[in-house]
Amino acid sequence: MRKDRRRHRSSRALATLLAASILSLAVTSSVPALAQAPRGPRAPAAPAAPSPPVPNAAAAQLKSDGDRFLAEKKFVEALDAYERSNAIEPNPALDYNRGRVLEFLGRYPEALDAIQRFQANASDELRAKVPGLKDLLVELQGKVATVVLKSNVTGARVLVGGKEVGQTPITKPLLFNAGKTTIELLADGYFPFRKEMTLPGNASTDVDATMASRDTFGYLVVKSTVPASLVYLDQRPIGVVPAEAALVPGTHSVRIGHEDYNDASTQVVLAAGERKELTLDPTKGTPLTHRWYFWTVAGVVVVGIATAVTVVALTTERKPPSGDFSPGQVSF
C-alpha cells in the first residue's frame, strides 16, 4: 500500500512539472511570434527645436575684461580685450564698445567705422539701447576728414602726420582726424613733397602731390622765426612759412613779409638736384601802415590838403635804407 501511495504521489508531481514546462514553452514561444509580427509604417519623428547658441566662454570673459578696463579708463587694455573677443565670436555690441574706446583714444576714423558697423549689423532691440546713436555718428563725422591724394610718381611713400599710410597710387579716399597735419611723399630720385595743411571735418580735400625730379629741378625750403610770414618766390606768393618749392636751376629772388614787420628779401642760386634751406626773417620795426603819421597824412589827403605834405612826411620820417636785410636775418 505504501509503495502504491508513493508511486501515486510521484506521478502527480511529474504531471505538475510537465504542465509547468509546457506553459513556459508557450510563453517563450509566444515572444518570438510577437517579435516577428508585421508592423505598420512608423510616423516620422518631430524635428527637434533649435537650441539657443551657447556663448563662447572665452569671448564672454574677454568682453567682461574689456568692460572692466573701460570702467577703469584703461582704454588701450579695453580695446585689446574687445578686439580679441570679437576675433573669437563677432558681436555687434563689441563694435559699439570698440567705437567708444577708439573715440576716447582720439582715433576718430576707426571709431566712426566701428559705430557705423554697429548701426548696420545690430538688431533693432540692440540699437534701441543706444538712443543717442545718430548724434554720436554726427559728432564723429565732424571729427573725420577725407583726403583724395593724387601724385605724378608711382611707388612714393605717403606719410600723414609722420605715419606711413601707403604708397602711390592710392585710389581710395583716406580718412584722418580733422585738424592740422602734414602730408609728405618720399621717393628715390625725387625731392620730398611736404605740405602742412588744416583738414576740415566732414569734408573732402584734394591734394595734388606733384614731386620734382632731382635730375631737373632744385628744391628750396624757406623758413622764418616769425610765424605766419608770407613767402614770395620770384614775386609769386607760395604760402606761409615753412614753404617749399621745386625750382629750375639758376638764381631766384626770395621775399618774406608779415603785416607787423618790414619785408626782407634775398636771392638764392640753385643747381639741379640741390636742396637748400633758407631762414629769412622780416625786419623788426613798425610797418608803415601802423605809424600814426601815415593815417594822419592819409586823412589830410582825403580832405584836399596838398599831396606834397605826404611826400615830405614820408621822406623825412622814414629811416635811411639799409639794404634788403640785416646781418643775422638770413641763413642757409
Q: Which of 312, 217, 315, 317 is nearest to 274 (CA)?
A: 217
Domain 218-286+324-331, what architecture? Sandwich (2.60)
pLDDT of residue 53: 53
Q: Which of 104, 65, 103 is nearest to 84 (CA)?
A: 65
Q: Which of the residue ranges 45-54, 279-288, 303-312 has the most confident prediction, judged by mean pLDDT?
A: 279-288
pLDDT of residue 150: 96
pLDDT of residue 55: 67
Average pLDDT over residues 233-239: 92
Domain 144-209, what architecture? Sandwich (2.60)
pLDDT of residue 56: 86
128, 130, 136, 141 alpha-carbon torsion, rounded to 10°: -50
Q: For residues 165 and 162, what is the distance between their CA atoms, to the nearest angstrom? A: 9
pLDDT of residue 289: 55
DSSP secondary structure letters along 198-256: EEPTTSEEEEEE---BTTT-EEEEEE-SSTT-EEEETTEEEEESSEEEEE-SEEEEEEE
Residues of the chain within CATH 1.25.40.10 domain(s) are: 57-141
Kindly give the pairing relationship between strand 236-240 and strand 230-233.
Answer: antiparallel
pTM: 0.60
Q: List, in sequence order, every residue forming a beta bridge with 159; answer none if it has no partner.
A: 164, 184
Residues of the chain within CATH 2.60.40.10 domain(s) are: 144-209
Q: Where are the beta strands (DSSP E) in 134-192?
A: 144-151, 157-160, 163-167, 174-177, 179-186
Average pLDDT over residues 231-257: 92
pLDDT in tens, 111-124: 999 999 999 999 99
Q: For residues 92 and 79, what is the distance between their CA atoms, to the nearest angstrom? A: 15
pLDDT in tens, 290-328: 555 445 544 544 444 333 332 333 223 333 333 333 333
Q: Which CATH superfamily is domain 57-141 in?
A: Tetratricopeptide repeat domain (1.25.40.10)
